[in-house]
Amino acid sequence: MSFCLANIDVEAYNWLHDCSSRRRRRREVVLISLRSLWCRTHTHTLSLSWYPRFSRIRKKMANAVSGMAVHDECKLKFMELKAKRTYRFIVFKIEEKLKQVIVEKVGEPNENYEDFAASLPANECRYTVFDFDFVTEENVPKSRIFFIAWSPDTARVRSKMIYASTKERFKRELDGIQVELQATDPTEMGLDVIKSRAS
Residue 7 lies in a domain: no
Contacts of 4 (CB under 8 A, 6+ apart): 11
| Residues 91, 123: Cα–Cα separation, whole Å | 15
Residue ranges of the chain with per-residue pLDDT less than 50: 1-11, 13, 38, 43-51, 54, 57-65
- So what's the pLDDT on residue 79? 97
Q: How many other CB atoms are there within 10 angstroms of residue 43's CB atom?
A: 5
Residue 95 lies in a domain: yes
| Residues 16, 143: Cα–Cα separation, whole Å | 62
Residue 158 lies in a domain: yes
- So what's the pLDDT on residue 43? 46
- So what's the pLDDT on residue 36? 55
Residue 23 lies in a domain: no
Residue 5 lies in a domain: no
Residue 152 lies in a domain: yes
Q: How many domains does the chain have?
A: 1
CATH number reported for the structural domain that contains residue 87 in this entry = 3.40.20.10
- So what's the pLDDT on residue 70? 95
Which domain covers residue 113, as residue numbers?
Answer: 72-198
Q: What is the pTM of this model?
A: 0.68
